Each structure stands twice: as structure tokens, then as C-alpha cells.
Amino acid sequence: MRATNEIKAVITGGASGLGYATAKSIVEAGGKVTLLNLHKEAGESAQASLGTNALFVETDVGSEEQVDNAIAQACEHSGEINLVVNCAGIAPSKRVLGRDGLMPISDFESVISTNLNGTFTVIRAAVNKMQNNSPDADDQRGVIVNTASIAAFDGLIGQAAYSASKGGISSMTLPLAREFARIGIRVMCIAPGLFRTPMFDTLPEKAVTALESATPFPSRLGNPDEFAAMVCHIYQNTMLNGETIRLDGALRMN
């Protein structure tokens, strides 16, 4: 098992929700993190709360140039990077045939660009640096953990774009794991169910209770630190590779 205090991570969407919880867990274990986030104020606040082992870089994951620059800064901050956690994403809900007419193609493309293309762009830049890391006892040089969603498999009405983006993230996990095996980089994917993130803060308590009751067990929203614990376990357990793990309390959306 690899020690979590050796983690030198890049976390997209790291200023809030699942990303911040993961960053906090890593820093508390003695690791270093670089937070890639689009919102400057939230990113600076997250960096301040995490201390000197954290660096914030304002980044649009849809921009190849910005991502390349952020990865370079992460390597300078930590010396190297051996873990990437892709949490950045958007989750709009919109019908293709809505009351206001057809969904514009630009709306679909926006979700794909941020969620799927953004994840790939970060992976591409990160593995280019990771391949130069010194291998450990298992000849491992790094770990990639992507975030899909149970919507990749159980998408609801209005989630065509979101489900397509998350399905793509899950689907590229195995081919990337196979490709990067030769340089000792593992690729895993987590598909969370309903987790208590800032998105739920705007919902009335009655709506949250209804969502919680839909999860067989435990009948509650997931806690972000439970997602973080899964990321840390994936990092530590070298046999986990090329797979998507549903982290959802047996929830199946319908």
C-alpha cells in the first residue's frame, strides 16, 4: 500500500464539493495538492484554508493552454505529480424537446467540452509529466482518478448531455489504463450517486429528504469525505485499474 503522505496531487474542481474534500484529506495526511478551479475567489479561499501544502491555479479545464500552464505550476509546487483527480464539471438539466423549443447544439457542446473534453485535456497534460516520475516497487509512476456519475448508466429525462459526458468519461477509463500501463500509470473512475455538495444547498429540505429516501442504504446523501476516502484507497491499492466504481448506496435512478 502506498502512503497517502506521499501524494502530490492535481485536483480539478478542487475549491468545493468532492474536489475540496479530497484535497483536504490529502493535505491532512501530509500530501501536497494543486487546485485547478475556474472561480478565483473560491479557489483562493480554498488555498488559504488548506495552508502551504496547497496551491490554487485559476484554470478553465476546457482550455489546453491554461491546463498545460496549471500542470507546469503544479510540478513546480510539488516537485512532481503522482495523482490527478478530475472533479470539475457542470450538471445542467435540459430537455431536447423543451417548452421553449429545441435544445441548442451549443448547450450540448458546452457540457461535453467541460466534463468530457476537460477531463481528457487534464489527463493528457498530466501523463506527459508523470511518465518522467521515478517508478515505485510496482513500477508505478502515477494514478488518474476521474469522476463520472451514476447518470452515465441511469440517466434521467433532461440529462442527455450530462449522461453523454459522464458515459464518455467512464468509457475511456479502460482504453487509457491499457495505453498507460507501459509507463506505469493507472486510470480509475468513480461514479458517485447523490452526494451533499453545494448543488444541494439551494434545495428545500423536503426535496433533499425525498432524494435521500431513494437510496436503499444508507438512505442519505453521500458525504464528500466518503468520496475522498475512495480516492485515497484507489491511490493506495495498486490492483485497482481500468474500472469504474459506483459509489451510490445501491441507488438506481428511474
Show me where the domains of the chain are located: 4-247
- Given 20, 56, 162, 195, the catalytic residue: 162
Rounded CA separation 196/38 (Å): 21
**Which alpha helices (H) appear in 17-159, and where do they start and end?**
17-28, 40-50, 64-78, 105-111, 118-130, 151-154
Work out the pLDDT band at 56, boundaries 50, 70, 90.
Answer: very high
Q: Which architecture characterizes domain 4-247 according to CATH?
A: 3-Layer(aba) Sandwich (3.40)
Bigger pLDDT: 150 vs 212: 150
pLDDT of residue 67: 98
Question: Does residue 26 come out as left (phi exceeding 0), alpha (psi in the -120 to 50 range) or beta?
Answer: alpha
Q: What is the pLDDT of residues 208-234, one digit of tens each?
A: 788 788 899 999 999 999 999 999 999
**Whether residue 162 lies in the annotated active site:** yes
Rounded CA separation 35/47 (Å): 8
Percentage of the chain exceeding pLDDT 70: 97
